[in-house]
A and B are shown apart, each in its own frame.
Chain A
Amino acid sequence: MEMKPPPEATRTLWSLRRGEHCAITGYDDLLAEAYKVRLMEFGFYPGETVSCLQSPGFGAPKVYRVNNTIYSLDDEIADHILVESTPPRD
């Protein structure tokens, strides 16, 4: 039986590979409200474009760019940020 790829909306920020871009669609329900607010304060708004700049080996936190600021998030947080793919920046 042919396996269907997961729907685009279920992708999380953690699944981004180096050089990929995405738009934030929201947060899942497991993420604490205070953490959601803090993420938005950092610039991770729904609708915002995020790029994955570095994906170090051995499961280390990945490096993301939001506007002109660069953050590192580990899977415990990035896996709760829902995204959809977007074309690369110019």
Chain B
Amino acid sequence: MTKVLLIGSPNSGKSLLFNRLTGLSQKVANFPGITVDVATGKLQGMDDVDLVDFPGTYSLKAISAEEKVAVAQFEKALEDNEVEHVLCLIDATRLEKSLFFTLQVIRECEQHGKAVTVLANMIDVLEANNLSIDLPALEAAIHTRVIPISARSGKGLADIAEQIRAARSAGAQARRPHLVDTPDELLRGTAHQLAQRLGPRGDVLVRTQNRLDAFFLHSVTGGFAFFGIMYLLFQSIFTWSTPAMDAIEGSLAWMADGIVPLIGNSILQDFTADALFSGIGAFLVFVPQIFVLTFVIGLLEDSGYMARATLICHKPLRYFGLTGKSFVPMLSGVACAIPGIYAARAVDSPRKRLLTYMAIPLMPCSARLPVYALLIAAFIPAETFLGGLVGWQGLAMFGIYFFGMFIALAITGFVSRARKDAFDDLPFVLELPPYRLPGIKPLLRNAFNRAKHFVVKAGKIIFAVTLVVWVLGYFPNYGADLGQSWLGHLGRVIEPLFAPLGLDWRYGVAILTSFLAREVFVGTLGTIFGIEGAEENMVPLVQQIQGSDLTIASGLALLVFFAIALQCVSTMAILAKESRSGTLALKMFGAYFVLAYAVAFLVYQLASAF
């Protein structure tokens, strides 16, 4: 088996080309320490050749630790005897952007005796605008074959396999080295001159792009467009995902109804119903949201709009140590932290990505909604004023939603100032790619890969924790009474921890189980208070809580506790996987628990005083 590496600068159409060249046969992996995917697939028409898609980069001179990993992996791959050819992709419409990097790649290939071919993509865009680049002169200048292609239309793609075959029969040694000892400075100057001399003349493409930018970046029209598009993105997470989420829940319930009665052993029956089906359902239900959000973000990225959205919200987020690229992950986090954490891959600066990770779990996600609804209904008066337009309960819901966002920004602002030099950073230089029509198939494939990654990587952790909580809640009395289970006993053991918030063991147990998913808090309290279906109809549970010893001060403390605490095993699992650091997930869990507890204690004390 031989390998061909595909490398190119960002926004040069590499993903689309890779998908075109490999079809459906793809495997996605990561380099240790970085979040960027490395996809491998069989080159169509050459079954004995694997095409490896390297992360897009502007230069082989890395400036962040993460870039260094990617560059080191490229250099390591060149030492691999199985690698026989490197395809270097450039954007023919913007030659000056790619040529320095191309020369660096050619030099590396010469040093390692590997064949190299340059692919000049978007040749169709040049032709459509009566523009051209001087390909023969470019080939002569860089002593390398340059194939004009269009990844979108497929033009020139057949020539790639032909070139790989030709290079294989000629042998890499047939190439005479020209750049082996050329330093970067000289390459940079050469690239600059070549781009000026051989690149497309005229600026029709830039003018078209600038006309659209004048609309999308205008203070008024750009603002409306931004809010409209972000509203659609946010809606897509909820609305487009809901039918699939309902279908998953319905299918699992249908399967459980069919399978569980067939099981003779009662423990195995309860295990299958509660741990297996509920456990699997608890994380499978997130898959549609991940798929839809990845697809919509891909649409925005490929269309060129995402870069403009990043620019629009960069300034206010920068004040809190974040970047414009943090906005979409944080907005996604308002629906669910899991797709938000996946979306944070787009944040290229490791420092700002870490801060984005810290902000996302504090966004008021939809799983907090049932908890807020229960506590607000129980403790906040239902009185309204201004003719019914404004009510205390609505204000409380509004307040607790924005409280989470406020805490998120306060934390990132504080950490970014306190740990100024602690993490790698990258300058905010954002390439604004041309506006283009996105290719749907690669986006669907990417969304599928992301959803699969979630199921395979996070599913195991989530299921293991679900299993532990089920065992604790089921034994030793076989699920007869949650209060007398090991979990109930554990609740009594930790009762002193929550007593300073005015909470007894029942709330301690509900907080413990809500680690599976925050909304489980409502169901657990329902079980403890002996109310069936509390998740669907909260009124009897609200009345029970109102009739219990719980004070308003404790209710408010619980509200702020849930606004801050990282009570979600799925979020922690995916945070550990995406950040490549289980320690980070555990540290965040611990820190947010301590902060949530401290703020809840403060609120309890203040509310008790009045």
Interface bits B297-315 vs A (CB < 8 Å: 1, else 0): 0000000000100011011
* B63–A68 touching, CB < 8 Å: no
* B199–A67 touching, CB < 8 Å: yes
Instruction: Output the least CB separation between B89 and chain A (Å).
Output: 16
Chain A residues with CB under 8 A of B214: 54
Distance, CA A74 to CA B323, complexed state (A)? 11
* A73–B429 touching, CB < 8 Å: yes
Chain A residues with CB under 8 A of B95: 68
Interfacial residues of chain A within 34-69, with CB under 8 A of chain B in the complex: 34-35, 37-43, 45, 53-54, 56-61, 63, 65-69
Query: Is B431 in contact with chain A by the CB < 8 A criterion?
Result: yes
Interface bits B171-200 vs A (CB < 8 Å: 1, else 0): 000000000000000001000100110011
Query: Is A86 in contact with chain B by the CB < 8 A criterion?
Result: no
* B206–A65 touching, CB < 8 Å: yes
* A56–B222 touching, CB < 8 Å: yes
* A72–B307 touching, CB < 8 Å: yes
* B203–A68 touching, CB < 8 Å: yes
* A42–B429 touching, CB < 8 Å: yes
* B432–A63 touching, CB < 8 Å: yes
Which one of B63, B210, B222, B315 contacts A37 once the chains associate, using CB atoms below 8 Å? B63
Which one of A35, A56, A59 contacts B217 once the chains associate, using CB atoms below 8 Å? A56
* A69–B219 touching, CB < 8 Å: no
Distance, CA A63 to CA B307, complexed state (A)? 11
Instruction: Output the least CB separation between B309 and chain A (Å).
Output: 11
Distance, CA A37 to CA B314, complexed state (A)? 23
* A77–B427 touching, CB < 8 Å: yes
* B315–A45 touching, CB < 8 Å: no
Chain B residues with CB under 8 A of A37: 59, 61, 63
* B213–A54 touching, CB < 8 Å: yes
Chain B residues with CB under 8 A of A76: 318, 427-428
Which one of A40, A53, A57, A72 contacts B219 once the chains associate, using CB atoms below 8 Å? A57
Q: Which of B96-104, B264-272, B484-492 contacts A (4 or more CB under 8 A)?
A: B96-104
Q: How many residues of A contact B (CB 8 A)?
A: 31
Instruction: Output the least CB separation between B214 and chain A (Å).
Output: 7
Instruction: Output the least CB separation between A54 and chain B (Å).
Output: 5
Interfacial residues of chain B within 71-96, with CB under 8 A of chain A in the complex: 93-96
Instruction: Output the least CB separation between B518 and chain A (Å).
Output: 35
* B428–A61 touching, CB < 8 Å: yes
Distance, CA A71 to CA B97, complexed state (A)? 11
* A38–B63 touching, CB < 8 Å: yes
Chain B residues with CB under 8 A of A9: none
Residue of B nearest to A33 (CB): B63
Query: Is B205 in contact with chain A by the CB < 8 A criterion?
Result: yes
* A63–B213 touching, CB < 8 Å: yes
Which one of B59, B196, B432 contacts A71 once the chains associate, using CB atoms below 8 Å? B432
Which one of A60, A69, A72, A74 contacts B96 once the chains associate, using CB atoms below 8 Å? A69
* A68–B206 touching, CB < 8 Å: yes
Residue of B nearest to A90 (CB): B203
Known: A37-B61, A39-B429, A76-B428. A70 touches B219 (CB 8 A): no
Instruction: Output the least CB separation between A12 and chain B (Å).
Output: 15
Distance, CA A59 to CA B209, complexed state (A)? 22
Chain B residues with CB under 8 A of A35: 63, 427
* A60–B205 touching, CB < 8 Å: no
Distance, CA A37 to CA B427, complexed state (A)? 12
Query: Is B58 in contact with chain A by the CB < 8 A criterion?
Result: yes
Instruction: Output the least CB separation between A22 and chain B (Å).
Output: 17
Chain B residues with CB under 8 A of A77: 427-429
* B431–A70 touching, CB < 8 Å: yes
Known: A41-B101, A54-B210, A74-B318. A68 touches B429 (CB 8 A): no
* A53–B429 touching, CB < 8 Å: no
Known: A56-B217, A69-B431. A41 touches B314 (CB 8 A): no
Interface bits B41-81 vs A (CB < 8 Å: 1, else 0): 00000000000000000110101000000000000000000
* A59–B96 touching, CB < 8 Å: no
Known: A56-B222, A61-B428, A73-B429. A67 touches B61 (CB 8 A): no
Distance, CA A42 to CA B94, complexed state (A)? 11
Query: Is B430 in contact with chain A by the CB < 8 A criterion?
Result: yes
* A68–B200 touching, CB < 8 Å: yes
Chain A residues with CB under 8 A of B210: 53-54, 65, 70
Known: A53-B213, A56-B222, A68-B96. A41 touches B315 (CB 8 A): no
Chain B residues with CB under 8 A of A65: 206, 210
Which one of B58, B192, B195, B312 contacts A60 once the chains associate, using CB atoms below 8 Å? B312
* B222–A38 touching, CB < 8 Å: no
Residue of B nearest to A58 (CB): B315
Which one of A41, A56, A60 contacts B188 once the chains associate, using CB atoms below 8 Å? A41
Instruction: Output the least CB separation between B531 and chain A (Å).
Output: 51
Distance, CA A32 to CA B58, complexed state (A)? 18
* A71–B427 touching, CB < 8 Å: no
Which one of B94, B430, B432 contacts A67 once the chains associate, using CB atoms below 8 Å? B94
Q: What would 27 A/B residue contacts be, using CB atoms closer than 8 Å?
A: A34-B63, A37-B63, A38-B58, A38-B429, A39-B427, A41-B59, A43-B97, A45-B188, A54-B217, A58-B219, A58-B315, A60-B314, A60-B315, A61-B314, A61-B324, A67-B94, A67-B96, A68-B94, A68-B95, A68-B96, A69-B94, A72-B307, A72-B430, A72-B431, A76-B428, A77-B427, A77-B428
> Which 10 pairs from chain A and chain B are nearest by CB?
A57-B219, A34-B63, A72-B430, A70-B432, A67-B96, A74-B428, A69-B94, A41-B59, A69-B97, A72-B311
Contacts beyond the supplied A63-B217, A69-B97, A71-B429: 5 A-B pairs with Cβ under 8 Å: A39-B427, A54-B210, A67-B196, A69-B94, A71-B432
